[in-house]
Structure 1
């Protein structure tokens, strides 16, 4: 049976077992709005005025539904419909939240990108997507936003922008009035509803198509690890463009029928203020922020965490003293997330890993044969470790590092425009590129321990950066013979980018000239190197590939 037939058979099994049950994002939204129309649904960031030039909004479910339906009508009038891809660059404000529902209802595909993306990334993503439309914001943090990337968009794409009118873009605004008629719901449960972007080891960002069934099954991992009463308030400080924010908050919010409090870019004083004033039950924060807060006892008396029950974290290793400290001092459970846009969902909550110190360093082996869990996600998610250097031999003993492979109704079906031949194994398991080991004998055999990545991806502040993509841009610098980047450890961001460069004879190179070059190329600022190392030649293997671990070792040696 070929890969397509295998996938079709699995998909039918997912339907037969009720794992893909016909739900849609807009359907879940409608149910919440019907159930609690007057309850607060969406709360804007405190600094909304500084971000996009308008006062913060507090929307009830009924107001959010009116806004979503009115926006869907505008999009439909503009010719956006089922199967049309829409590239979206919006911050975490009510506009983006409402837009997800509007496009879902029309059956269109929303493809969200980071606010940091510049012309370089917009040209690539919009081209790969075949975007029929772009929706952005005129100004962000008092700087031009949509206008600065206009020339990177496909010539035929329709262009829209929230905020002040700007040449070349149709104006959009939220309209909370009662619609004269509600638009029909055209989106179906197995229609692709999102295409998020991830940077792998192959170079430029890759699109990750997911349909409604993928999202609802993925969210169950969070739903069961972070059990909240209906109508709870949750604070999302991560951009609504990838797995952590979408499965961890957006979809959970729809099912919880609670209040989604928005925040981003991260601002600690504002974040702490929202935790208190909005009586937040659940949020997420980078490990470095949690470490800093716990160590700063002066803050403890100023911030009332009595409403907070769970704080998720991840993207960098957690410290056992931190997870234990939050439990002991505040009664807050730290939940350890290991996820990916493609569908990894290893979520360690107190039910799965009761010991908070242990929870910092291991993840439940969801989907491993013979293990049972209270988290319903484990009933359909499948995982295994294989020796990728030995014909994918199965690893079922502790102490051996293997690549994590995953399969299930939450796992995507393949990258945009890719056949999937090298992405999935013969049984349809996705090759994650992430390395784990079984954590030990006895009870510890129930857990995975993270060991690293096969890929050379740099993860800065939870956002993936492809080294190969940066190499390709930097090798065009007029002073550089050849260049390669790698990540280096950073307490706050997890990793930052270091550039190793071989400079042409008679030329000089400094970090500022590199940044100027990348700015001229329209490369997003978060990808810019923050350290420069000049080198006589790059380390390469017999196949002439750059050996990035050797570059990292150089940095560790020089730091020591």
Structure 2
């Protein structure tokens, strides 16, 4: 399957940003260069959430396992262009599946384990899968049984420890001569295409129904190179991935950089703070990504931080939600572990704020360098790859001056071609730029940065005054009586919309009053017209798998409260 027009392929190939290397090409290179180095490791608590032995494969073993699985899939009739749905937790089998699919030329569409029969059916109607790769259960949820009922007629292939029947797949680290010959013959008959679609990932669904995002080897490798630059990866680094291997954060930030740089990928599932910190220490992790809420907790609780040996950790990534400047400062000044602020999406948009581009903590927490724009002081892969601009919502005119909000738009080798099924109305501009739907403004001294002020549809319009909910979210993180907090708009007859604070109290029996929160916000310098006029208490904020607040869910809860 290809989605890219030849003119785009020719242009990006001539620029040296796309090439002929595939994901399985990279694995073979690493297996030759560092066969005995750890390639991928299961979570140590695997037995607590699913079946199967805990696996740790070096690069030679991973290459053999991918070859064996590819031969198995070919033997079951899977062919280039066939779509495989994968619904697996963060276990070694999922990593092997990506490389095996690459060898076959199949398209792998990973789905979160949280997806139920409805979501499986919706995805299958679009994908028309040749098979489902899954496992019997995750935390008691019968994934294989559910997939078989939701997708009648689609073969459901289960990973297990031994070949008990025709529906069982194995990851043993072995690849016999027959399997190797079958895969080599297949590759000779069907040469690999770096511009072929390797995956169909799915939008996070913060608004509307999730949409399929086809991405080629070249798109992913371009993203992997920019992420590697941001994280400052080195050959042999040890990476800890806590995010589901189904989206940009995990694939673009960990899997593809692992293959590009010869890094060791350690998996974590599900997120458990104590185990996560223990893994950083015991696995001698050099880089990981941590949710903002946990970073805030660690910044406040030095005792918890000092309980572990994090001497091998060089820097930490975060994102998906606003970062707090004070937290970034604590990690820089007190812990000596700089934070990298990531901004991206499955569609291929990518910006990041690093210690190199954004020295001051308040800049790194709240702004992103205008990588790829003319007359900027940046250099490097991301600056060469990324193209972006800001466009006025009402007029469509290009914004070049600070302080004027507009939509952020992207182009370049990391960006996809369009959603599966052609549901692209309004997604791209007439001249081919991807419309992110994110509202930003040029900022900084000099104005070399963007500040994200919200979603184009998220802006709260209070009597004609535009209010960015993201701005208030960031301030709420600093209120000591809250575990979490965000704001949303709610309808008002006189003003159109007003602001509601949706908060998770640290002490549910003594929740903070709206007056106390507003006094705090005023002390932080927030304008009075932006203050919340209603408060809504929650046990937890609705967030998608990437940690982004689902503001439309908040709006629904507030309306019906």
TM-score (norm 1): 0.79
Aligned to 1:414: 418
Change (3 A) 1:418 1:497: farther
Change (3 A) 1:174 1:168: closer
Q: State whether residues 207 and 552 of structure 2, in contact with CA within 8 Å, keep that contact through their aligned partners in structure 1.
A: no
Q: State whether residues 331 and 338 of structure 2, in contact with CA within 8 Å, keep that contact through their aligned partners in structure 1.
A: yes
* Pairwise CA distance, 1:357: 2.8
Aligned to 2:171: 174
Q: State whether residues 139 and 163 of structure 1, in contact with CA within 8 Å, keep that contact through their aligned partners in structure 2.
A: no
CA distance in 2, matches of 1:162, 1:289: 33
Q: Could you tell which deviates more after superposition, 491-500 or 217-226? A: 491-500
Q: State whether residues 224 and 260 of structure 2, in contact with CA within 8 Å, keep that contact through their aligned partners in structure 1.
A: no
CA distance in 1, matches of 2:145, 2:70: 24
Superposed counterparts of 1:125-524, under 5 Å: 125-153=123-151, 155-163=152-160, 170-181=167-178, 182=180, 183-184=183-184, 185=187, 186=190, 187-199=192-204, 203-390=208-395, 392-418=396-422, 420-440=424-444, 442-443=445-446, 445-455=447-457
CA distance in 1, matches of 2:164, 2:203: 31
Q: State whether residues 385 and 436 of structure 1, in contact with CA within 8 Å, keep that contact through their aligned partners in structure 2.
A: yes
Change (3 A) 1:46 1:549: closer
CA distance in 1, matches of 2:458, 2:125: 25
CA distance in 2, matches of 1:412, 1:316: 23
Change (3 A) 1:333 1:39: same
Aligned to 2:103: 105
Q: Deviations over 1:271-304 (max 9, x none)?
A: 0111001100000010000111121122123111
What secondary structure is seen at the aligned counterpart in 2 of 1:394? Answer: coil
Q: State whether residues 87 and 113 of structure 1, in contact with CA within 8 Å, keep that contact through their aligned partners in structure 2.
A: yes
TM-score (norm 2): 0.79
Q: Could you tell which deviates more after superposition, 69-78 or 161-170? A: 161-170
Aligned to 2:119: 121
- Identify which of structures 1 and 2 has the higher relative contact order when contacts are C-alpha pairs closer than 8 Å and 6+ apart: 1
Change (3 A) 1:363 1:414: same
- Please report the RMSD computed on the Cα atoms of aligned residues, expressed in angstroms: 3.0
Superposed counterparts of 1:18-33, under 5 Å: 18-33=16-31
* Pairwise CA distance, 1:18: 1.4
Q: State whether residues 57 and 173 of structure 2, in contact with CA within 8 Å, keep that contact through their aligned partners in structure 1.
A: no
Change (3 A) 1:278 1:499: farther
What secondary structure is seen at the aligned counterpart in 2 of 1:410? Answer: coil
CA distance in 2, matches of 1:164, 1:256: 30
Q: State whether residues 488 and 555 of structure 2, in contact with CA within 8 Å, keep that contact through their aligned partners in structure 1.
A: no
Change (3 A) 1:199 1:389: farther
Q: State whether residues 147 and 156 of structure 2, in contact with CA within 8 Å, keep that contact through their aligned partners in structure 1.
A: no
CA distance in 1, matches of 2:487, 2:101: 35
Note the residue ranges of structure 1 that are not aligned, 5 or more in a row: 458-488, 501-528, 533-547
Number of aligned residues: 476
Q: State whether residues 43 and 94 of structure 1, in contact with CA within 8 Å, keep that contact through their aligned partners in structure 2.
A: yes
Note the residue ranges of structure 2 that are not aligned, 5 or more in a row: 460-475, 492-536, 541-550
